[in-house]
Amino acid sequence: MVRRTRIIYTDSQKALMWDRWKKGESLQQIAQLFDRNHSSVQRILADSGGIRPPP
């Protein structure tokens, strides 16, 4: 298994994640946009309890 470097998502990438999540896309579908595992997206969304934080 190849270990990947940690990715730091930009604010625009996070906004895209939230938009797609709100539309009902799965974590796996969103993660494929960034060529990452769904757990990296899950971490971003779970930090605020699945509710988009205010800007």
Q: Which residue from 20, 18, 25 is spatially nearest to 45, judged by alpha carbons?
A: 18
Amino acid at the residue 16: L
Amino acid at the residue 17: M
Give the H/E segment covering residue 51. Answer: none
How far from each other are the two terminal CA atoms of the chain, in whole angstroms? 37
State the pLDDT at residue 7.
Answer: 83
pLDDT in tens, 18-50: 999 999 999 999 999 999 999 999 999 999 898
Model-level pTM?
Answer: 0.83
Q: Which of the 8 DSSP states describes residue 1? A: -
- Would you place residue 52 in the very low, low, confident or very high pLDDT band (cuts 50, 70, 90)? very high
